[in-house]
Amino acid sequence: GIISLISLAVLSYERCCTMPRTAEPDTANYRKAWTAISLSWTYSLLWTVPPLFGWSSYGPEGPGITCSVNWHSKDANNTSYIICLFIFCLVIPFAITVCSYGKLLCAVRQVRVSSIPTGPGWRRQQRVLLMVMVMVMMLCFLLCWLPYAAVALTATFGQPGLISPAASIIPAILAKSSAVYNPIIYVLLNKQVSETL
């Protein structure tokens, strides 16, 4: 789950950095992509390993079918980890995504207002921006992760037993299945991919 959130934030930042360029992307150079992937996985690993060494713990989630962070423990050790996890793995990636796409929308609006001619590369970038915005903002963050975060924080800071195991199943499934939605949206909205199908 964390790698999915971090990857979406990295993708939005990359779009923000490459959108202003009107030239066609350099598809032969994969160095930036591999660096971004490596940093995303490293960051995610840094936040998933601490429970193995005593900062919080892992345990059964919901009805005991899946394993996740121990959301129900009320001790300071566990609570501090959950607060950090919430801030550094949900709030900050979401803020990066919102800021990146906010800058991109401003850039798109300025180009439409100005009389600068735009080439086919710019139009393709606008289509990619729309696709990624739909993917990130609507499905992955809002529909998938916010219900899960709300249930997890309620289980951590609310009254014991407030969230029943049965009620926690749907947000957990939504959050964990968000990694499946990204490729589907990419295939449906990316003209180059859909033309080859």
Query: Sign of the CA dihedral 17, 18, 23, 25?
Result: positive
Distance CA 184, CA 135 (A): 9
CATH number at residue 105: 1.20.1070.10
In a domain, 36, yes or no: no
Distance CA 148, CA 120 (A): 40
In a domain, 33, yes or no: no
Report the domain count for the chain.
1
Tell me what pLDDT residue 194 has.
47
Tell me what pLDDT residue 68 has.
83
Tell me what pLDDT residue 134 has.
57
Tens digits of residue pLDDT in 31-86: 888 898 899 999 999 999 999 999 999 988 767 777 888 888 888 998 999 999 99
Query: Mind giving me the DSSP string for 45-86?
Result: HHHHSGGGGTSS-EEEETTTTEEEE-TT--SHHHHHHHHHHH
In a domain, 110, yes or no: yes
In a domain, 25, yes or no: no
Tell me what pLDDT residue 114 has.
56
Distance CA 105, CA 85 (A): 29
Residue numbers of the chain with a pLDDT score lower than 70:
19-29, 62, 108-140, 182-197
In a domain, 149, yes or no: yes
In a domain, 42, yes or no: no
In a domain, 30, yes or no: no
Quick one: how many helices (H) and strands (E) in the chain? 8, 2
In a domain, 26, yes or no: no
